[in-house]
Each structure stands twice: as C-alpha cells, then as structure tokens.
Amino acid sequence: MESGDSNTTANSIDIRNTSLLTEELYLEEHSLLILCASVLIGLVSLTSCILAVTVLRRTRKVPKSTKYLVTALLVFDCIFVTSSTVRKFIQHPLVNRSITAFNMSSLQLAYTTVGMMSIERCLLFYNPMTYMRFYSNKIIMKATASVWSLELGIFLIVRYGVCYLRFKSINVFTQAQICNNTVSIYYGILVTIILLTSMVSYWIIFVTVRQKNGRKDERVMSFRSVVNLIRGYKNTVLVLVFWVLILVTSLAYFIILFLTYFMGLGPYSVRLSLDAVSTLNCMLDPFLYVLWFKECKLELLKMFSFCGKSVKEKAKSLQYEVFDIVPYETNALNRNITRRFEGTCGVDMNDTGGHNNPEFIDETAL
C-alpha cells in the first residue's frame, strides 16, 4: 500500500509540476505579428494545396494510384497547416489540446502515406505484371484506408489511453506536457518504421532494376548506371524526395528537442519551433509536386491562361512537349505537299476541325 501511495504521490507531483508549464503557455498570448504570419502562411498553404489537387486531378498521364496517394498526402498537409493556424487563436485548454492531437495525427498520416507510396512503387518494380493484374485502384484505396485507420487508432490509444493509465488523471486530456515523453517515443518509433520501410523498398527497387537490366547487357551494372535508370521514373524519384523531406524534418525535431533538453527552452518557444518546421514541410509538398511534373505545370498554366497571351503561348508550347505533338507548318510548300498527300490517303491534314481527321487535336480547344 505504501508503494502504491508513493507512486500516486509522485504522479500527482509530476502533474502539478508540468501543469505550471502548460498554464504558463496559456497565459502567454501570441503576439499580433505571429498571428498575422500564421494566417498568411495558412492561406498560402491552403491555396497551394487546392491548386495542386485541382491540377493533379486534371492530368491525364499521371496514374490513378499516384493521383490518389498524392492527393491524400496534400489533404493531410493542408489539414495540419489549417488546424495549426486555428489553434493559435484558441486558449481553452481542452479545445486547444484536442486540436493539437488532431494536428499530430494528420501529420503522422501524411508520413504514413509516404511510406505506403514507397511500398506501392516497390511492388510495381518488383513484379509489374502482378501489380497491374491484382492491385486495382479499389484494392489500393481499401488498403490505405485500413492503414490510416489503424495508425490513427494506435495514436489515440497512446495519446489518451496509455497516458491516462500511467498518470490516473483527467489532466491528460487538457495538458499536453504530461504526455510529451510518451508521444515523443511513439512518434520516434513511427518515423523510424516509415524511414526503414522506405529504405528497404528503394533497396529492392535498386536491386530489381540492376538485375533486369544486367540480364540484357550480360554484365553487372554500376551503382551510377542504376541510379540514372531509376531517375527516369519521375513518380518513383518524387516519393524518394518526400522521404528525404521526412528525414530532414525529423532531424530538425531532434535538434529542437536536443536544444530544449540542454538549453532549457520554454514550452512556448518549443511549440512555435516545431510548428514552423512542420508547416515548412507541409508547404513544400504541393509546390514540389506541381513543379516536378511537366503536365502539372501545363494544367497550371492553362488555369491561369487568362493572365495574358504569353501564358497561353507557354501553355501551348508545353502541351506540344508533354504530349509529343508535332505542329504542322502553314507555309505554301507544306500546303502543296499535304494536298498531294491528301489524294492518296483521303485525309486533310490541315483540317483543324477534326471532321475528316478525328485523330487530329484541335489546339485551340485545349
């Protein structure tokens, strides 16, 4: 009985000590500059995510599975930045901590999505015929939804269930400082699993590409040659870039926590630093994806073609490049050639209306 009482007393002392830190956090209101900057960043992030998702949905050459996974990643990023901005205006402990937990869950779901994207790329490279035959879009959607639900459930159990069983206090629902160690350990384990899973997936991709191309050439390919071949698959390289962003973000988290432990940074500074790093990571994703693929840039230019003639011309030239369209010259020599050719094929190559040549793409309609 004495040991149980001593544990309860120690837990209550720990809660009282940490509550001072969290109460200090709520007493210190955000400055007007920080609030304005948060709103501006939130609007920029929300607008970029909406544009990126719209552009992505309008593409024709991007695979459906890639569209689905990247759209989910962008939505989770957008949810994190938006809710993080809203949280800065709320001082009620329970609501504030609930939004904080919601932020963390959306960020972790985004990281989990990158891990699943790596696995999807690995399955495609390892056995493409089996992937195309059995892994339909519905199966991918069901599998990813199951993983997201499982990860979200585990996080909520750790954040509230484990912390409540450890401290036996309802303060775990209103004071995040109590469960910081537990949640940090869970976050470290989750990120480590995601990074290792992605590393193994890309190692399998590397070995697969090396073996398949080595059989054709009957020689062992060098590391640089295999990397150059993989660079040709832009979807696969993009997932690797997302993985690098997660690694850099996690290292930034570790540096902040390291400085907190040895330099005694306050909870207010720590929270702002973590929010800034996470927000920067989430804001890079939509810009990175739109700038990564030419078709996404094409759709973006087409959306803003009302800005001027130069934008329309850039969109048209990029459309020729993306879809391998060769425009026909309109000089007199080419007209004569096509008229002679018309008599043998029965097709007017200058028919931009598409009445006699349905395969011709009317550029003015795009």
Band of the pLDDT at 351, cuts 50, 70, 90? very low
Question: In which residue are the tokens 């901590």 written?
Answer: 97
Q: Are residues 204 and 323 in the same domain?
A: no
pTM for the model? 0.75
Q: Are residues 287 and 319 in the same domain?
A: no
Instruction: Check: CB of residue 76 under 8 Å from CB of residue 110.
Output: yes
In a domain, 299, yes or no: no
More confident residue, 205 or 268: 205
Give the domain CATH number at 196.
1.20.1070.10
Full residue range of the structural domain in which residue 275 is found: 2-292
Instruction: Check: CB of residue 91 under 8 Å from CB of residue 292.
Output: no
What's the CA gap between 64 and 235, in Å, rounded? 12
Chain-centroid distance, C-alpha 119: 15
Instruction: Check: CB of residue 88 under 8 Å from CB of residue 326.
Output: no
Is 90 exceeded by the pLDDT of residue 265? no
Handedness of CA 19, 21, 25, 28 (dihedral sign): positive
Q: Tally the domains of the chain.
A: 2
What's the CA gap between 268 and 43, in Å, rounded? 23
Band of the pLDDT at 40, cuts 50, 70, 90? very high
For 344, the token pair is 């043998």
Instruction: Please say which residue of 292, 323, 346 terminates a domain.
Output: 292
The stretch 102-110 carries a mean pLDDT of 91
Tell me the Ramachandran region of residue 360: left when phi exceeds 0, alpha when psi lies from -120 to 50, beta otherwise.
beta
User: Which pLDDT score is estimated for 136?
Assistant: 80
Dihedral pair phi/psi, residue 325, rounded to 5°: -95, 130
In a domain, 52, yes or no: yes
Listed ranges 71-85, 202-216, 268-282, 318-332; the one with the highest mean pLDDT: 71-85
Is 70 exceeded by the pLDDT of residue 239? yes
Task: Return the minimum-mean-pLDDT range out of 57-71, 89-103, 343-357.
Answer: 343-357
